[in-house]
Amino acid sequence: MKPYKIVQPGLVDYKEAWDMQKLFFNNMLDSKKDGTYSPMALILLEHPHVYTMGIHGNQNNILFSPDMLKRIDASFYNIERGGDVTYHGPGQLVGYPILDLEYFRIGIKEYIRRLEEAVIKTVEQFGIKGEISQNAVGVWVDSETPRARKICAIGVKVSRFITMHGFALNVTTDLDYYRYINPCGFIDKGVTSIEKETGLKPPVAEVSNLFQKYFKDLF
C-alpha cells in the first residue's frame, strides 16, 4: 500500500498548484509538531507556460523582459525551491512529492537520487538512456559529453524533512521556450524531450502512469 495519495488535477495554473503544495506541506509540518496525522501526496500535473526562479538563482539567467513574457503568453514566479531558473509548460510532466523523509528513513541526497532513478526508469521505456551528471542535479542524456542535454530538471525544498517542489520531465514540451532563459543556470548544455530524442509523442498521462510505477517501487 502506498503511504501517499496521488493527486492528478490536469493542466493547472502555477499559483494554484503552488498553493496546493503549500497546503499539504503546512499540514504535514503542523502534524509533526503536534503528533497527529496528515497525508503525504504525490501531485502530478501540467502547467501553462511559466518560468520559476529558485532562491539562489542568478537573475542574469533570465533573458526575457516583461513585454516578452506577454508576447509568449508566459508568467514568472520567484519561489522557495533550490536551483536556478527553469521552465514549465504543456507537454511536460511536473511532479510535486510532498513526503516525510523521516518516514522513509532517508536524507535529502538519497531522496533526490531516488527521484532521478524513477525518471531514468521511466524514460528507459522509450529507449532513452537517462543519466545522472557528476556536476548537476537532474536527469541527462549523454551527460558527460559535449552534447549533454537535460531531459528532466529537479529542484526541491525540504523543511523538517518534509519535501516540496520536485521535478519536470520534458515529454512533448515546446523546447523553444527554453531560448528565453539559461536553463538551470547552464549556458553550455542543452535541453531535450522524449519527443526530440525518439520522435514519439506519448501522452503525458501515459508517462505519468509509468513514473508512478517506478516511484512506488522506490518509495
CA distance 177 to 5: 32
Residues contacting 156, CB < 8 A, separation 6+: 81, 82, 108, 111, 112, 163, 164, 165, 166
Residue with cell 496525522: 37
Residue with cell 522524449: 194
**Residues β-bridged to residue 157:** 164
| DSSP 8-state class, residue 14 | H
Residue with cell 520559476: 52
Count of all residues that appear for the chain in the document = 219
Query: Is residue 152 among the annotated active site residues?
Result: no
CA distance 138 to 87: 14
Catalytic residue selected from 184, 191, 204, 207: 184
Active site residues: 184
